[in-house]
Structure formats: structure tokens, C-alpha cells
């Protein structure tokens, strides 16, 4: 699905040197590389504060903690997402309220968000799924009307731009109260281990987020709140500094592969290629097809696997159908768009190193099976 080795080999000299420098510096935690990466990411994103942390799940959890939400408060999020989004909400004893997604863009549906709001609602967590932005203008308008926080789960869309109706643009993750991302190796900006970051333009919140990520410590050995231990280590920061310089090129390479896929499937009536939202650029964390009713998805996966082509199902089971998240409020059929997507989506290899020969091999195989 990804080719991290080839990507590494293209910047191997720089990365090896940077990692060795960290090893020699012995500043393994909170070394200068972390601070430098923080500043460079702030400047890339055009956001006031970046708070590095240990992974994307922690980023979401620390964000929820910093907002001072109380057990029982309701947090609205998409029913079609990776489990981490709902997991941190539930872990903090907040109540995840799921809403269905748009059938074309797979992003949280603002009309359904409106309907899910109750007096207990405190926050909305849009997930910029597969690499493009949720409808942030609509979501921010709802949040303002109801005095809600917005935490953007930007683990899959770093580098994407939201395009406002007046043509203005902002980077994904810098629009809501707080933005969260992950540097897991297969993410669009991946390190060589775990990593994550939190973004905000709010000075007060930035202080709280930093404090919570560091054991709730305000001054050394003075703890003002209960926090967690969540750090980005210096080696990962050094690697991320180098890869950040290529992020826009990585996005371009992914778009080039996506364009090839789009064209190759354009005349296949049983395949719907990813819709491009008009209010967002796309950074193609995933390239996800929607198969027509009647196409045997498992057989397609096996057919591709026999040719050495991986394909994945993101996501096979909707959150409300997961054992850990069963809830008397929800039953099968409550999120028809999500349930339909879970049955019919399939994601093809998508990364920065796909060449035309590979793309032709993959698309020929898919078109041979799905006819």
C-alpha cells in the first residue's frame, strides 16, 4: 500500500546524517530538533502554535483534555472514521455522538451535525478523511451558533487546503479551535516511528495543551492539572524536519497517481472514483474506490493479491457496529451511508513512489476483474 523504503532512499543521506547528529548530541528528548521542527511546521501551516506529542491518538486526547470537557458532555464525530477518533472521546468518559457522512466526499455531513446537537453538546470533531477537508465553513458556522469547540482530526490530510467560498485558503487543521495530526510512518508526513502534533491559534489553549502533554506540569515538579506523558522524540523530529521540506512534492506525487487512477477507471461503470470536494484540495492519503452493487469485493481483493497487488478496506466495520462501541442509542441501519461504504469501498496502493508501470499494472488488473 505504501513504499516507505524508496521514499527514504531518496533522502537517505540527509536523514542518516540528521539521525546520527541526534545520537551524538545525546539530547534524545526535547532536544533542539523538536523545537526547530515545531517552528518549521508552524510556519508551513500558518498556525501560531504547534505542540508536538507522541502520536495522533494522544493529540486528540490531549485536545479533549485541554478543552475542560466533563464526563457526560457530548462530542459529535463522524460514523465513518478510524477508531481513534471515537476512542479518546469514550476514554475520557465523554459521550461520542455519531453522525453519518456525505455519500460522495465521505466527510461528516453538516446537516446531520445540526440535527445531533443537544444541550449537552460541547464539541464537534470533523475528520478530514482520506486527504481532503470536511466542510469547515459549515461546521464553524454551526459551532459558532451553538458555542461549540471544533477539534479537527487531521491525521490524514496534512498539507491539504480548505478553500472558503470567498476563495481564501487555510491549511487543514488550522481552522477549528484545535487541530490534531499523526506522523505514523504511512501518514502523508510520516516519521520512522510514532509521532503526532496539536495545532492552535489560541495562546491560552497552547499553554494548556503543552502542560497536559507534559504531566500537567507548569514549572518543573509543579503540577497544576492531571496530564499525560506524550513527547515527540528528537530523532523523529530530525527526520520530520527533512521530510516536511518535501511534503508539497509528496502531495503532488500522490495527486499524479490519483489522476492516473481516475482516468483509468473513468469508463468503468461499476467503479466510482473519489469525488473531489469543491471546497478542498486533496492530498490523497487514501485512493478509495466505491464498487457497484454486485461486485464481489473479497474476490477482487484475492484476484489482486494473487498478482501481488495489495488492497485494503478502510473501514470494514462502522463504529456503531464495533463491539467496544455498541450503544443502546444505535443499531444497524442508523448510519446508512457509512454502512453502505463499509460494504463497498476498497483502497488501492497510494504513495509517493508509484510509477506509471505500477499504476498500469494495478489499473489493468482492477479493470480486468471489475467489468
CB of 322 within 8 A of CB of 289?
A: no
Q: Which of 7, 38, 57, 338 binds ligand PLP (CB under 6 A)?
A: 57
Which 83-142 positions form the footprint of ligand PLP (CB under 6 A)?
A: 84-85, 127
Rule CB under 6 A: say whether 314 interacts with ligand PLP: no
Q: How many CB atoms neighbour CB 11 within 10 A? A: 15
Which 134-193 positions form the footprint of ligand PLP (CB under 6 A)?
A: 153, 155-156, 182, 184
Q: How far is the CB of 123 from ligand PLP (least distance, A)?
A: 15
Residue number with the shortest CB distance to ligand PLP?
56
For ligand PLP, the closer CB: 158 or 271? 158
Q: How far is the CB of 370 from ligand PLP (least distance, A)?
A: 26
For ligand PLP, the closer CB: 84 or 113? 84
Q: Say how many residues touch ligand PLP, by CB under 6 A.
A: 15
Rule CB under 6 A: say whether 196 interacts with ligand PLP: yes
Cell digits of residue 133: 477537508
Q: How far is the CB of 180 from ligand PLP (least distance, A)?
A: 7
Rule CB under 6 A: say whether 288 interacts with ligand PLP: no
CB of 339 within 8 A of CB of 317?
A: no
Q: Which of 7, 33, 34, 56 binds ligand PLP (CB under 6 A)?
A: 56
Q: How far is the CB of 356 from ligand PLP (least distance, A)?
A: 28
Q: How far is the CB of 190 from ligand PLP (least distance, A)?
A: 10
For ligand PLP, the closer CB: 96 or 359? 96
User: Furthest-apart CA pair in the chain: how many Å?
Assistant: 66
**Window of 29-37, 77-85, 215-223, 238-246 that interacts with ligand PLP by CB under 6 A:** 77-85
**Window of 19-27, 69-77, 82-90, 337-345 that interacts with ligand PLP by CB under 6 A:** 82-90
For ligand PLP, the closer CB: 3 or 87? 87
Q: How far is the CB of 63 from ligand PLP (least distance, A)?
A: 11
Q: How far is the CB of 352 from ligand PLP (least distance, A)?
A: 17
For ligand PLP, the closer CB: 55 or 363? 55
Report d(CA 268, CA 264) in Å as an integer.
8
Buried b (16+ CB within 10 A) or exposed e, 290-325: bbeeebebeebbebbeeeebebbbbbeebbbbeeeb
Q: Which of 37, 82, 106, 287 binds ligand PLP (CB under 6 A)?
A: 82
Q: How far is the CB of 236 from ligand PLP (least distance, A)?
A: 11
What binding mask, one character per residue, do residues 7-46 give for ligand PLP by CB under 6 A, x or -? ----------------------------------------
Q: Which residues bind ligand PLP (CB under 6 A)?
A: 55-57, 81-82, 84-85, 127, 153, 155-156, 182, 184, 194, 196
Amino acid at each position: 500500500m505504501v513504499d516507505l523504503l524508496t521514499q527514504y532512499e531518496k533522502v537517505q543521506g540527509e536523514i542518516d546524517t540528521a539521525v546520527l547528529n541526534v545520537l551524538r548530541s545525546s539530547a534524545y528528548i526535547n532536544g533542539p530538533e523538536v523545537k526547530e521542527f515545531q517552528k518549521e511546521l508552524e510556519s508551513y501551516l500558518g498556525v501560531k502554535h504547534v505542540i508536538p506529542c507522541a502520536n495522533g491518538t494522544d493529540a486528540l486526547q490531549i485536545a479533549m483534555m485541554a478543552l475542560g470537557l466533563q464526563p457526560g458532555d457530548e462530542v459529535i464525530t463522524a460514523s465513518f472514521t478510524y477508531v481513534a477518533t471515537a476512542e479518546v472521546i469514550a476514554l475520557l468518559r465523554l459521550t461520542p455522538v455519531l453522525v453519518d457522512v456525505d455519500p460522495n466526499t465521505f466527510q461528516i455531513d453538516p446537516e446531520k451535525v445540526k440535527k445531533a446537537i443537544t444541550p449537552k453538546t460541547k464539541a464537534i470533531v470533523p475528520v478530514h478523511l482520506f486527504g481532503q477537508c470536511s466542510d469547515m465553513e459549515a461546521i464553524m458556522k454551526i459551532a459558532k451558533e451553538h458555542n461549540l469547540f471544533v477539534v479537527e482530526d487531521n491525521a490524514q490530510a496534512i498539507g491539504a487546503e480548505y478553500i472558503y467560498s470567498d476563495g481564501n485558503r487555510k491549511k487543514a487543521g488550522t481552522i477549528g479551535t484545535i487541530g490534531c495530526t499523526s506522523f505514523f510512518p504511512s501518514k502523508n508526513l510520516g516519521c520512522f516511528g510514532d509521532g503526532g502534533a496539536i495545532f492552535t491559534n489560541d495562546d491560552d489553549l497552547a499553554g494548556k495543551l503543552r502542560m497536559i502533554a507534559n504531566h500537567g506540569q507548569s514549572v518543573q515538579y509543579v503540577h497544576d492539572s492531571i496530564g499525560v506523558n506524550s513527547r515527540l522524540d528528537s530523532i523523529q523530529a530530525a527526520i520530520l524536519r527533512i521530510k516536511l521540506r518535501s511534503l508539497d512534492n509528496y502531495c503532488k506525487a500522490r495527486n499524479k497517481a490519483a489522476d492516473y487512477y481516475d482516468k483509468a477507471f473513468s469508463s468503468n461503470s461499476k467503479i466510482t472514483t473519489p469525488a473531489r470536494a469543491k471546497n478542498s484540495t486533496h492530498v490523497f492519503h487514501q485512493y478509495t474506490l466505491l464498487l457497484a452493487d454486485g461486485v464481489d469485493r473479497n474476490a477482487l481483493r484475492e484476484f489482486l493479491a494473487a498478482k501481488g497487488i495489495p488492497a485494503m478496506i478502510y473501514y470494514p466495520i462502522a463504529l456503531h457496529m464495533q463491539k467496544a462501541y455498541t450503544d443502546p442509542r444505535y443499531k444497524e441501519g442508523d448510519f446508512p451511508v457509512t454502512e453502505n461504504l463499509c460494504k463497498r469501498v476498497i483502497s488501492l496502493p497510494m504513495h509517493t513512489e508509484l510509477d506509471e508501470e505500477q499504476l498500469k499494472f494495478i489499473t489493468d488488473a482492477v479493470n480486468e476483474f471489475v467489468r
